[in-house]
Amino acid sequence: MNVDDHIFLWNQASVRLHDLRHIVMRAGEQLRSYQLPASAFLFSVRGSGLIRFDGNVHAIKNCYMAHAGKGTYVDIEEIKDELEYYLILYKAHLPLPCRQELLRLLEKTQPFHIQYGFTPMHQVNVFVAISRMKQAWNQNGNLDKLRAKALLYQLVCELMAQMQSQGIGVTVPNLVVQAVRYIEEHYAENFTLDDLSSLLNCSSRSLQRTFKAQLAVGPIDYLIQVRIQKAQELLRQTNLGLKEIAESVGYTDSYYFSRSFKKYTGFSPSMYKENPLTSEMRRQSPSLLSRYSIAGQKLWKYNDHIENENHSHSRDGGAVPMYKSTKAMLALNLMLSLTLLLGACSGGGTNTSNSGSSATGASNQVTTQSNTTQSGANQEVKKSETRTIKHMKGELTLDFKPVRIAVLDTQYADQMIALGELPAGSVITTGDGTKFPEYLMDKLKDVHVLGTKDEPNSEAVVAMEPDLIICTEFQDKIYDNLSKIAPTIMFDRNEDWRDTLITFGKILEKEQEAEQIVKDYQEKTSKLKAELATKLKGESVALIRPRDNAIRLHTVEHRTAAILYTDLGLTPPKPAMDKSDTATMISLEVLPEVNADHLFVVTDKANQALTDEYKNSSIWKGLKAAKENKVYEVNTTVWIAYYGPIAINNIVDEIAEALL
């Protein structure tokens, strides 16, 4: 660890003392699964035991200092005598705006989230600082709180000096380990990806990317798998009713649970439970109550275990054991699966139809019986002219017009509506905190919400029973799973919207309508291009998006910027002519070098505060475009997310209104 980097960032940070507690645990007591609500220093003054940060063990003996970040799971055990310690909770961040190198250093070193532990060389200095801090914190005056905060800085200075001299190493926390543990302990609760990332003090995008990189599925997909697995265990090992089991694994609707269970396992819950082999499985599994807690291991909240200054009660909520199957159990599971499958396939008087699809081949053949009505749809799926759709995973042959289409990118809802059709389900954007953008709301108000582009809700996709799924490379890792639900097409997300529209025309048997939309757009932009050339006379236009404490300058390669520079022939500033990427990140200080005559600023709920902060800066106010009142705020959802003909035409209209 480079302590100098940590000292530098502590110097730049804004720090707030969140809480300070003095705790005594008796011999034999344990603390289980306490999740830190903020970054924390833990300093023991007497006693011994083991402390675990996300499973990383520290042996405590008398004076010991440990540190961990928000979201870390803390366990304390093997206390032989009374263990007395102080818990100092704090929150720290870099004030904005700040230089990009600071943000990069913060991301690299994570001084407020790293884990470490050591025995201080000068223990008296540490103890005195904490004792004085505790005394000040217990007072009610503002001056006392300020004094406690000052003493926190004094403590940090002392620790940094001792760590530097002792060469203390650190451990960077594993977000995925923390997320998995939270999911496995809270699967019965209702929470979102945003909730989970907030608990772990990271962005949803970062958690999603890291989780998928390590486990090949997203956090919400992992949550669904855990819920189904727990439901299977309860069905095998208890006589609980379906409603009780559904609620115990996080489903408020037992009917919805049954459908999800069947989609994921191939069997209904009752079919899974009632097979004779299930009884043998139960015999192989000892008493449920001694092995399994429906609620799972209790996650200790902040106030659950630090109620008393002198004592913390032990509250062992019971652990959820991970069962290791014996050979006998594996054999029984296999026999059960075969028995259920044979039973499902041999129903004498049952009509069955196969709308089959192949998930792994380069070509998928999809056929559907004529006059078959899809569940939940008001339209009939009818045979039609056979056509082959080429996509990123191969080819899909259709001989029917799909009526229940699930789109896993927001732009495709726009494409379908432009052709007079509606998706049965669609993902949404999150920038504005609304389901769908205002310009499409009246059309999409009854459409099933399927999560977001970055985190599609597999349960919702299964429940809507699609006859076709359309995704992009963003869902590449779950493509095979999607293909098991319904025939699935994968498009290039950044393909020109006109090419995508023509393909949608082919899928929906509306090729002429698609071609007419493209023709109308070309005529519209050609006329406007000439008008803008006359009016602007070569004035430059830039498209920027404040984001992640910086500014994203979209280049000529960006799909929306192409409307400005290709379709309408506007002049890009020199930095936007870089063709190596679709955007380049710049700081506020560099923005004057762009020197654009006109600025289109992409904003939404997520970045509005940052945008306003930049606009109030002296640097922004000194921009040529700002001085001449040629800065135009536009909506992220319309300009970036919904890359379809309706949104594109709206963008062109906004450009014309701003520049003419």
- For 1-14, write each residue's pLDDT tens digit: 567 788 888 888 88
Cβ 464 vs Cβ 450: under 8 Å: yes
Please state, in angstroms and rounded to a whole number, the distance separating the CA atoms of residues 45 and 22: 10
Cβ 98 vs Cβ 14: under 8 Å: no
The pLDDT value recorded for residue 315 is 30
Tell me the C-alpha to C-alpha distance, in Å, between residue 33 and each of 44, 180, 323, 433, 620.
Answer: 19, 13, 20, 32, 47
pLDDT band of residue 512 (cuts 50, 70, 90) is very high
**pTM as predicted:** 0.47
Please state, in angstroms and rounded to a whole number, the distance separating the CA atoms of residues 604 and 370: 46
pLDDT band of residue 76 (cuts 50, 70, 90) is very high
Indicate the domain borders of the chain.
3-166, 175-343, 363-509, 524-659
Q: 337-357 burial, b if ≥16 CB within 10 A, otherwise e?
A: beebeeeeeeeeeeeeeeeeb
pLDDT band of residue 424 (cuts 50, 70, 90) is very high
Cβ 120 vs Cβ 62: under 8 Å: no
* Residue 378 pLDDT exceeds 50: no
pLDDT tens-digit profile of 381-403? 555 688 899 999 988 988 888 99
The pLDDT value recorded for residue 523 is 94
- Among 279, 36, 39, 321, smallest CA distance to 152 is for 39
pLDDT band of residue 172 (cuts 50, 70, 90) is low
Which of 107-116, 194-203, 533-542 bottoms out in mean pLDDT, i.e. has the lowest?
194-203
- The hierarchical CATH code for the domain 363-509 is 3.40.50.1980
The pLDDT value recorded for residue 382 is 56
Q: What percent of the chain has pLDDT over 90?
A: 30
Superfamily of domain 175-343: Homeodomain-like (1.10.10.60)
The pLDDT value recorded for residue 42 is 94
Distance of CA 437 to the CA centre of its chain: 20
Average pLDDT over residues 412-432: 87
pLDDT band of residue 431 (cuts 50, 70, 90) is low
* Residue 51 pLDDT exceeds 50: yes
70 contact partners, CB below 8 Å, separation of at least 6? 36, 37, 38, 39, 91, 113, 199, 200, 201
Which of 215-219, 226-230, 349-353, 550-554 bottoms out in mean pLDDT, i.e. has the lowest?
349-353
Higher-confidence residue: 374 or 133?
Answer: 133
Average pLDDT of the chain to the nearest whole number: 79
- The hierarchical CATH code for the domain 3-166 is 2.60.120.280
State both tokens at 102.
């600071």
169 contact partners, CB below 8 Å, separation of at least 6? 1, 116
The string of DSSP codes covering 195-259 is: HHHHHTTS-HHHHHHHHHHHHSS-HHHHHHHHHHHHHHHHHHH----HHHHHHHTT-S-HHHHHH
pLDDT band of residue 173 (cuts 50, 70, 90) is low
Please state, in angstroms and rounded to a whole number, the distance separating the CA atoms of residues 18 and 40: 9
Higher-confidence residue: 591 or 335?
Answer: 591
pLDDT band of residue 309 (cuts 50, 70, 90) is very low
**How many CB atoms are located within 10 Å of the residue 565 CB?**
20
Q: What percent of the chain has pLDDT over 70?
A: 80
CA atoms within 13 A on the CB side of 392: 17
The pLDDT value recorded for residue 289 is 29
Which of 455-459, 596-600, 607-611, 655-659 bottoms out in mean pLDDT, i.e. has the lowest?
455-459
**Domain 524-659 in the same topology as domain 175-343:** no
* Residue 287 pLDDT exceeds 50: no
Please state, in angstroms and rounded to a whole number, the distance separating the CA atoms of residues 287 and 622: 74
Which of 358-372, 429-443, 464-478 bottoms out in mean pLDDT, i.e. has the lowest?
358-372
75 contact partners, CB below 8 Å, separation of at least 6? 30, 31, 32, 33, 34, 51, 52
For tokens 């390590």, the residue is: 214
pLDDT tens-digit profile of 150-161? 999 989 988 888
Fold entry, domain 524-659: Rossmann fold (3.40.50)
